[in-house]
Structure 1
Amino acid sequence: MLLIGIVAIFASLGLLFKALGVFGKQESVAAARLRELTESEVVVAGSAKDLHQASKGGLGYRLTPRGIVDKAERNYMLAGRPDGSSVAKILMQKVIFGAVGLGLGIMVYSSKGGLLGVMMLVGAPLLGYFAPDIILNGKAVRRQEEIQYALPDLLDQITISIESGTSFENALARTGQTGKGPLAEEIVRTVQDIGLGLPRREAYESLVARTDVDELRKFVRSILQGEEFGVPVSDIVREQAQEMRVGRRLRAEGVANQIPVKMLLPLMGTILPVLFIIVIGPAIISAIGQFKGA
């Protein structure tokens, strides 16, 4: 068993070196970009089907179930496609870390045995396999929260630009260029998609798919419906900004209201035992003294 664990660890290290390009030819920039493209990105770039199939040649794709691959691709998109990473690398990390965890679990089980060995044998591979997913999901959630928080202020800027005589598209482009953060980056990309010839509705729907923020989805739906019924865009943007600002305040109040409940358990676990010792301790000591004197 110990030998199997050692072999598993060395095999995982070999896969890691291969994934990092220590051995073998480095992947070209074009090939790396091709691996990162998904169907949602290549509407203008070319055939989505061909590029999507071309990105499936990695070992991580072949060793990972389809459902987990889809979830990793979605979280990678929601996380903003972090620099230096790709879905293929993330899937390879899952395989490598899972194998390393399995090797460590086998080694601990062989040397220690018992409940600890069984827990390591089962838990270490699972933790190693799902650790990249947990990290990626955390990045995606933080990015969505940043977009959600910045959206009301961005809509205020768009409203000011529209009221000064700028069209909605130009106001959107100017706001994205002058802004910072993930929301501004997504706005700039949406404007670029429209400039490349992508229909506005598809560009807006792609923006919603890349972010998956309910407030942004509601705003896009309102803009599209307003264009259909001839409602002034400035009125829609102003109303949406006001509603989102109220929603942001309500969310902050909700978080503040949850603080006492979350603090209850730590207080009970730290302060109450000390109070119990201070209040009951002298009585216990006195009772022990009386029993000894009797």
Structure 2
Amino acid sequence: MLYVTFFFTITLFLYGLYVLKEERKKRLKRRLSNVFDRIETKESEPTEDSDKQQRSLYQRIFAPIWKEFKRSFKKSMPGEKEAKLEVKLLKAGNPLGMTPVEFRLIQIGLFIGLPLLAWGYAQLMQLHSGGIVFFLLIGLVLALFIPNFYIKQKTKQRNHAALKELPDILDLLTVSLEAGLGFDSAISKLVSKKEGVLPSEFHRCLEEIRLGKTRREALSGIRERLDVDEIKMLISSILQAEKLGIGMVQVLRVQSSEVREQRKQRAEEEAMKAPIKMLFPLVIFIFPTIFIVLLGPAVIDFLNAF
């Protein structure tokens, strides 16, 4: 026992010396880095030549060409079509930061690229003319279907997320108004405390109000970008309460109780659908295996008997 204690004492002592040495090295490196960083920030000021050298080949050559091409393509694009695409992208939450021009270019690229890929695949398989035409039609259908399907799915996911966030958002707005804040201050408090689809929409609403839009126009924009009945009803109630001079707290409290009741009803509806949805996998996958396990040996014995 004495030898073990002595061994642990020596080990801890050596480890303490090693840690102390490493800590001194780290402290010295930290001091030197602080000094050299200050010297570099004072002496080295970025110039245009150094910026050009630091930029990549894409930023120096291809990015200006791409911007000029998008600008020229935008001029040839009809204004009504661009407005419709912008509304679709806003409803989908601007996925991948796409503009209407970029989305249209992606559509054209898919319309050209997918049929070419289908034609190349048909050539590799050495199909006849009928098979090549069939693959080309498949490529064209996919090129027409994929972008719109992607936008619809993004819009659906965004609306579902907004509907899920709505009860908590209403509670926070109600508490903020009851605490004595104004409606705009309550929205700014909501934006600072919450993240998600609805807070981002209210943040956009505040920015539009600061840029000169009326509150009615900014809130109506939220109603247009989110295709959810509960949110449309909420915005209409807020606008009506503002117009008639009704207390906003009472309106939000009523809306909150209605939204929670509707969420409860949707959950009960999904629970009622669950047994019907479970019936198909039971019939297709589980019942056949049960029949094989139970009746398989009897069938084998019956066949062997004859």
Same-fold status (TM-score > 0.5): yes
Which of 267, 270, 279 is the matching residue for 2:285?
270
**TM-score under structure 1 normalisation?**
0.73
Deviations 1:103-143 (A, max 9, x none): 23333445224986554332222113321222222112111
Higher mean alpha-carbon deviation, 137-146 vs 236-245, is at 137-146
Query: Is the aligned partner of 1:241 residue 2:256?
Result: yes
- Matching residue's letter, 1:198: K
Aligned partners of 2:258 and 2:128: how far apart in 1?
59
Aligned partners of 1:127 and 1:263: how far apart in 2?
32
Match of 1:258 in 2: 273
Aligned partners of 1:142 and 1:287: how far apart in 2?
56
- Matching residue's letter, 1:112: L
Deviations 1:39-73 (A, max 9, x none): xxxxxxxxxxxxxxx98436xx57xxx87x66643
Q: Is the 8 A contact 2:95 2:154 kept in 1?
A: no
Match of 1:185 in 2: 200
Q: Is the 8 A contact 1:94 1:130 kept in 2?
A: no
Pairing 1:144-159 to 2, within 5 Å after superposition:
144-159=159-174
Q: CA deviation at 1:159?
A: 0.8
Aligned partners of 1:258 and 1:284: how far apart in 2?
37
Which of 209, 215, 218 is the matching residue for 1:194?
209
Q: Is the 8 A contact 1:72 1:133 kept in 2?
A: no
- Matching residue's letter, 2:67: E
Which of 256, 266, 282 is the matching residue for 2:297?
282
Task: Report which structure shows greater RCO (CA 8 Å, sep ≥6).
Answer: 1
Higher mean alpha-carbon deviation, 165-174 vs 109-118, is at 109-118
| Change beyond 3 A, Cα 1:105–1:71 | farther
- Runs (4+) of structure 1 exceeding 6 A deviation are none
Pairing 1:102-117 to 2, within 5 Å after superposition:
102-110=115-123, 111-113=126-128
Pairing 1:90-239 to 2, within 5 Å after superposition:
90-110=103-123, 111-113=126-128, 119-239=134-254
- Matching residue's letter, 1:139: K
| Change beyond 3 A, Cα 1:120–1:77 | same
Gaps of 5+ in 2: 1-60
Match of 1:77 in 2: 90
- Matching residue's letter, 2:273: Q
Work out the percentage of aligned pairs sharing the same amino acid: 30
**TM-score under structure 2 normalisation?**
0.70
Which structure has the larger Rg? Answer: 2
| Change beyond 3 A, Cα 1:103–1:26 | closer
Q: How well do the aligned residues superpose, as a CA RMSD in angstroms?
A: 2.9
Q: Is the 8 A contact 2:92 2:155 kept in 1?
A: yes
